[in-house]
Amino acid sequence: MNSGSTAKTILFWISIVFLGVMLWKLVSANKNPAQVVSFTDFLQSIDKKAIQIAEVYLEQNSANVHALVRDSQKYVETTISTSELPDITARLRDAGAKIEISEVKSRDWTLILLNAAPLVLLVGLCLFLMRQMQASLRRVGAALPAAVRTGIGYDLHRLEEGRALIVGGIELPFDKGPVGHSDGDVLAHAMCDALLGAAGLGDIGTHFPDTDPKWKGANSLLFLEHVRKLLDEKKFVIEHVDAVVITEKPKLGPHFPKMREALAKSLGVAAEKVHLKAKTNEGVDAIGREEAIAAHVVATVVSR
């Protein structure tokens, strides 16, 4: 339980205790209610020295006297004018009564607190219920499966002699290489498209247009690093990437371990989450004639 939840719970129980105390005071006060007597009868009680305690509450033009009768231990109450107050208090002292003078009635404060108690209780109850609802929603959210999204990517590059063959961030020994604005890494490009598609973020041409000179000859692993940041901003986590590269030559299998490490590092994931396969085109079409190289990628991401 965090500090915010603890504070809400404490406030709730304080409200309960507060209301209980106020109700107890109200019930206790009603057990011995004051009897309203006339001013004349009150003076006679003073003369008889029957008043033990007199509580005087000052008002605007008068004073309310709340007095405890010595023999019966019951309260009587009367109202006197402000001009008569000095004489009454002097007579009470002469009669041996204890006098307490206050500007505000304690019972008025009791009423104020009693009126405020339901509001305080309501606030505490609302906070308590909010905490319970938040806890329930967290439990429900934890029980729900994460949203899974999938994207596909495809790329193809022509091959020409005299260019470096870069696949999966690794330069391979071969006499031909891809024609492209960047380094022409067909696998990295298809992987970018698959991840962007899964997150609904467009395609590689949107983020790395071949009309922008800053991407001329760029390392395509930088594209993957940028895509990973975009996914982080959207709260997506890369769950798995499955790719197949199609080329007649060279053989790619021996180079897959290094490719997986390079790609996984750029994506910020474990190498086990990157799966690579290689196929030939059985001599068919441009790929089969060693004139092109292509890649298909399927990427799976989950929302955090």
pLDDT for res 221? 95
pLDDT for res 211? 85
Query: Which residues have a Cβ under 8 Å from the Cβ of 202 and sit 6 or more positions away?
Result: 196
- 9, pLDDT greater than 70: no
Tell how strand 35-36 and strand 75-81 pair up.
parallel
pTM: 0.55
Side-chain-side CA neighbours of residue 96 (13 Å): 8
Cβ count near 93 (within 10 Å):
12
Which residues on adjacent β-strands are paired with residue 100? 55
Gap between the Cα atoms of 171 and 164, Å rounded: 7
Greater model confidence, 2 or 234: 234
Render pLDDT for 87-130 as a digit per residue (tens, 0 to 9). 888 888 888 888 888 875 544 555 555 566 666 667 767 777 77
- Here the tokens at position 171 are 């330069």
- 2, pLDDT greater than 70: no
Per-residue pLDDT averaged across 180-188, rounded?
92
Of 78-87, 114-123, 126-135, 168-177, where does mean pLDDT reach its minimum? 114-123
Side-chain-side CA neighbours of residue 234 (13 Å): 21
Of 28-37, 148-157, 178-187, 214-223, where does mean pLDDT reach its minimum? 28-37
Domain positions in the chain are: 3-142, 148-303
Render pLDDT for 192-209 as a digit per residue (tens, 0 to 9). 999 999 999 999 988 988
The pLDDT > 90 percentage for the chain reads 45
Gap between the Cα atoms of 144 and 224, Å rounded: 30
Phi-psi region of 184 (alpha: psi -120 to 50; beta: other; left: phi over 0): left
Task: Tell me if 185 sits within 8 A of 220, measured CB to CB.
Answer: yes
CATH code matching the domain that covers 3-142, chosen among 3.10.20.30, 3.30.565.10, 3.30.720.210, 3.40.50.300: 3.30.720.210
Q: Report in angstroms the alpha-carbon separations of 219 from 156, 186, 199, 225.
A: 17, 12, 23, 11
Per-residue pLDDT averaged across 257-279, rounded?
96
Task: Tell me if 162 sits within 8 A of 177, measured CB to CB.
Answer: yes
Per-residue pLDDT averaged across 27-49, rounded?
77
Task: Tell me if 238 sits within 8 A of 230, measured CB to CB.
Answer: no
Per-residue pLDDT band for 173 (boundaries 50, 70, 90) equals very high
CATH fold label, 148-303? 60s Ribosomal Protein L30; Chain: A; (3.30.1330)
Query: Which residues have a Cβ under 8 Å from the Cβ of 86 and sit 6 or more positions away?
Result: none
Extract long-range pairs of 91-96: CB within 8 Å, 24+ residues apart. 91/43, 91/46, 91/47, 92/46, 92/51, 92/54, 95/46, 95/47, 95/49, 95/51, 96/49
Gap between the Cα atoms of 92 and 112, Å rounded: 30
Q: Same CATH fold, 148-303 and 3-142?
A: no
- 135, pLDDT greater than 60: yes
Per-residue pLDDT band for 20 (boundaries 50, 70, 90) equals low
- 34, pLDDT greater than 70: yes
Per-residue pLDDT band for 21 (boundaries 50, 70, 90) equals low
Per-residue pLDDT averaged across 49-67, rounded?
85
Of 103, 195, 186, the closest CA to residue 149 belongs to: 195
